[in-house]
Amino acid sequence: MAYDLNFGPVLAHAPDFAAGVRDTVVLSAQSIVLGLAVGLVVSIIRTSGPRWSRTLCAIYVEAIRNTPLLVQLFLFFFGLPYIGFRLQANTVAVIAVALNLGAYAGEIFRAGLLAIPKTQVEAGLALGLSRLQVLRYVVIVPALRIIYPALTGQLTLTLLGTSLVSSISANDLTLAGSKVVSQTFLSLETFIVLAPIYIVVTFVFRFLYWLAGLWLFRRRVPTGDAAASLSLPREVSEP
Amino acid sequence: MIQSFGLWSIPLLLHGLMWTVLLSLTTFVAGGLFGLLFALGRSIGPRWLKLLIAGYIQLVQATPLLILLFLSFYALPFMGWYFPPLAAAAISLTAYSTAFLADIWRGCIEAIPRTQWEAADALALSTTQKLRYVILPQAFRIARGPTVGFMVQIVKNTSVTALIGFVELTRAGQLLNSMTFQPFDVFLTVAALYFVVCYPLSLWSEKLKERRSAGSAH
């Protein structure tokens, strides 16, 4: 190989990478919280809402799940100013990523809710639990445990998907890397540095999901890698 | 010159769509081939191979596709040859899909009950025969739904190659947008074209999954 890798000038930009990590973590956390909220609402409407609202939610879910996140980002970023909404790139990024996650999370939550048989709820009420207790101990926690690998897998995909927001000039780790490339012209070195940073961030997030699972379920529940989001919870059979 | 979005733009987008479909097919065939090898290596290979493949799967699944794409786009020229963006796109998408398909298929192979392996052992089948006649046909039935589901992901993932300048559907949309300045019309049409390709696949995937859960009594 005629070319020797030169990491010095790239590593000199360490503070920029650190700022990029911070932006990516903040962006992901905001999108995840917002997206899970959207998903929860969608799943409740799709399981027990009036007919017209179910149809509306189904259209939303299918439209999002069958088009690429990148196109959704472009549509929001270039389209919103066109109809009079001028928002910052980072705001658009959070909205687009959250709406994307909302559709997937909605489907996952719905599968969890459908996995709890009605007889369980009746049994809980027969034991004298209040409606709120039934909702918490019989519906939400067990449903969440069933879907936990798929849900955390989807959150991992969302975290990785935030790298696309650099294309609409929203601040994140990938954009920080692109700026370093334009200053140093060391493209290969920069991306060789970026990849392990993303890997570490991903595994830190997955560790946090694992801890959250420990706290939620009082026992170890596996978290999913990105591929786990594809094996829908419908296939999980509880003993 | 600013032109307005209209019928003349459709062939441009369809040309992009053609490349999206070709790239998706290439990725699926290549990723499927490596994915099958990796899935087998991961479930029945020697210990060191299992660890190696597991490491590969975990690392690739924790890296954004965009970073993989940039890595291959910038790394390939260092090998001393000229590579068009298409090569970088196909290589990174294949590396990415391999990790996912290997993971999905390993799950399907491991979902086959232990007793099936033992029954095949009792019939004195060789390893190849066991896989060929007992394990893989059953694993294949389970795998169809998630595999078709992942094909949707592949089609959507090809959009990322627009960011290294490969003119597929999304890039065609970007180009058209800078010609017409009608982002809503352009990107809604682009999204609709993706939907036309992806939605039938999604429906098919759901159907295969339902059939599976209805038919699997064990």
Listing DSSP states for A68-110 in one string gives: -HHHHHHHHHHHHHHTT----HHHHHHHHHHHHHHHHHHHHHH
Going by the DSSP 8-state scheme, the letter that residue B80 receives in this structure is T
Q: Give the distance from residue B199's alpha carbon to the nearest chain A alpha carbon, in angstroms.
A: 6
Please judge whether A71 and B100 are an interchain contact, meaning their C-beta atoms are less than 8 angstroms apart. no
Contact status, residue B35 vs residue B101, Cβ threshold 8 Å: yes
CATH superfamily of B9-215: MetI-like (1.10.3720.10)
Radius of gyration of chain B (CA): 21
CA–CA dist A91, A99 (Å, integer): 12
Total-model pTM = 0.90
Pairs across A and B, CB distance < 8 A: 142
DSSP-derived secondary structure for B23-47? HHHHHHHHHHHHHHHHHHHHHHS-H
Query: At B211, is the pLDDT very low, low, confident or very high (cuts 50, 70, 90)?
Result: confident
- Tokens for A148, please give them: 């936990």
Average pLDDT on B95-111 reads 92
pLDDT, one tens digit per residue, over A153-191 is 999 999 999 999 999 989 999 999 999 988 888 888 889
What's the confidence (pLDDT) of residue A231?
61
Q: Is A49 exposed, middle or buried (0-12, 13-18, 19+ CB in 10 A)?
A: middle
Closest by Cβ to B160, choosing from A67, A70, A187: A70
Distance (Å) of CA B141 to CA B148, B206, B212, B215: 12, 14, 7, 10
Per-residue pLDDT of chain A (239 residues; tens, 9 = 90+): 557 778 888 788 889 999 999 999 999 999 999 999 999 999 999 988 899 999 999 999 999 999 999 999 999 999 888 888 888 899 999 999 999 999 999 999 999 999 888 899 999 999 999 988 998 889 888 999 999 999 999 999 999 999 999 999 899 999 999 999 888 888 888 899 999 999 999 999 999 999 999 998 887 777 777 777 766 544 443 33
CB contact under 8 A, B62 and A79: no
- Let me know how long chain A is: 239
Give the whole-number percent of chain A exceeding pLDDT 70.
95
CB atoms near residue B164 (< 10 Å) = 18
Using DSSP's 3-state secondary structure scheme, residue B217 falls into coil
- Measured distance CA(A146)–CA(A148) in Å, rounded: 6
Which domains are present in chain A? Answer: 9-235 (1.10.3720.10)
Q: What integer pLDDT is reported at residue B100 of this predicted model?
A: 94
Angle made by CA atoms A15, A16, A21, in degrees to the nearest 5? 95
B184–A203 CB contact, under 8 Å:
no
Question: pLDDT (tens digit, 9 = 90+) per residue, B186-198?
Answer: 999 999 999 999 9
Question: Residue B121 corresponds to which amino acid?
Answer: D
